[in-house]
Amino acid sequence: MTPDLMEEGAKRAERVAALAAGAATESGGRQAGFSRPVVHGEVDTTHGRILYLEDVHVSFDGFKAINGLSLDIAPGELRCIIGPNGAGKTTMMDIITGKTRPDSGQVFFGSTIDLLRYREAEIAAMGIGRKFQKPTVFEHLSVFENLELALATDKRVRRSMVFTLTGEEKDRLGEVLETIHLSDSAGRLSGNLSHGQKQWLEIGMLLMQDPKLLLLDEPVAGMTDEETERTAQLFLSLKGKHSLVVVEHDMSFIRAISEKVTVLCDGSVLAEGTLDQVQADERVIEVYLGR
């Protein structure tokens, strides 16, 4: 999360509130289709999916980075995505989060929200949190202050940078601190945390906004073995409460957390199944795992 994105999120929240106020008829009138999906807590997962991509294509200067990608993620699922360098894993996340526009295809959040109609900050505000590889915490602030700031999609903070947490927000902050194993470090300066702890803090900042879907790109890169194990436990504890899409090259980590694994190659799905199933797949061995 970047300060820019937070700022945009705050503006977005204001626009959404104004729109919702304008849609005064019982059905929401002509604006219902626009205003309803972005109200937090209303993603339609009755068809058993939180995220749905169909036949998505993206080319960069003629190079097909994403080439007929289809994907279906169930609510509460923890999906692992693996595949060789350049397979399109990060580009896929760019598309879901609105950073990159596909040339064609469909991308839906739940059954009703067409993500291709929204901008990056709007998508973040809907409850899709993204963790980039490099931690981007505010190093000069404490762990507590970083988590506090993650709630700051609010004009109170933009005006003064000082605000009082409600009781509910305090409880959530405490819960998140425990979840990310940083309760004992709440007052510590974030810049003094280990690499792994910074990664957890950033995940905590995403959790403060209670995202429905979390996209995590190479979350354990650069972590010690112990930090990697703790991260596996963390992700397993998030599963069910949130839906997670995790891209990783670390196979022991994938083994620790995976149910269903999707193998991407050349911009589309090469194989899907349990880790054992995809590891035994000749095509996967050929392009990724090696002989």
In the complex, minimum distance from the CB of residue 104 to ligand ATP, in angstroms, rounded to a whole number? 16
Q: 78-82 and 63-73: which strand pairing?
A: unpaired
Binding of residue 65 to ligand ATP (CB under 6 A): yes
Per CB under 6 A, the list member of 68, 76, 86, 222 interacting with ligand ATP is 86
In the complex, minimum distance from the CB of residue 61 to ligand ATP, in angstroms, rounded to a whole number? 6
What string marks each residue from 271 to 290 as x (binds ligand ATP by CB under 6 A) or -? --------------------
CA 17 – CA 30 distance, rounded (Å) = 16
Token pair for residue 7?
Answer: 């700022």
CA 33 – CA 24 distance, rounded (Å) = 13
Binding of residue 88 to ligand ATP (CB under 6 A): yes
In the complex, minimum distance from the CB of residue 33 to ligand ATP, in angstroms, rounded to a whole number? 31
CA 231 – CA 239 distance, rounded (Å) = 12
Contacts 24+ apart (CB under 8 A), 147-151: 147/173, 147/176, 147/177, 147/201, 147/204, 147/205, 147/208, 148/173, 149/6, 149/205, 150/1, 150/6, 150/204, 150/205, 150/206, 150/208, 150/209, 151/208, 151/209
What string marks each residue from 91 to 110 as x (binds ligand ATP by CB under 6 A) or -? x-------------------
Binding of residue 85 to ligand ATP (CB under 6 A): yes
Binding of residue 263 to ligand ATP (CB under 6 A): no
**Is there a contact between 83 and 286 (Cβ–Cβ < 8 Å)?**
no
Question: Contact region for ligand ATP (CB under 6 A) — 88-96, 143-151, 192-200, 222-230?
Answer: 88-96
The smaller minimum CB distance to ligand ATP, of residues 60 and 240, is found at 60
Question: Residue 69's binding partner, choosing from Mg ion, ligand ATP, none, with beta-carbon cut-off 5 to 8 A by kind?
Answer: none
Interface residues with ligand ATP (CB under 6 A)?
A: 60, 65, 83, 85-91
